[in-house]
Chains A and B, each alone.
Chain A
Amino acid sequence: MLIMWRRSGESFLAGEVEIEILDARPDRVKLGITAPESCAIVRRETRITQQQNISAALSADASTIETLLRRFSQ
Chain B
Amino acid sequence: MPYVQTRFFGELEYESESLFRFPSGLPGFEDHRNFVFLKKPGLEPLMFLQSVETRSLCFILLPIRAVDENFRMELTQDEIGEIGLSCERPPVIGEDILCAAMICAGDGNAPTANLMAPVVVNLHNNIGTQVIHPETGYSHRHPMTADAHPPC
Contact = CB atoms under 8 A, between A and B. Distances in A.
Interface of A: 43-46, 48-60, 62-65, 67-69, 71-72, 74
Nearest to B141: A52
A66 B106 CA distance: 15
Interface stretch (B23-31, B83-91, B120-128): B23-31
A10 to B, nearest CB: 26
A53 B106 contact: no
B104 A56 contact: yes
Interface residues of B, number: 36
A50 B106 CA distance: 14
B75 to A, nearest CB: 16
Contact of A72 (B8, B29, B60, B149): B149
Contacts of B111: 59, 64, 67-68, 71
B97 interface: no
B37 interface: no
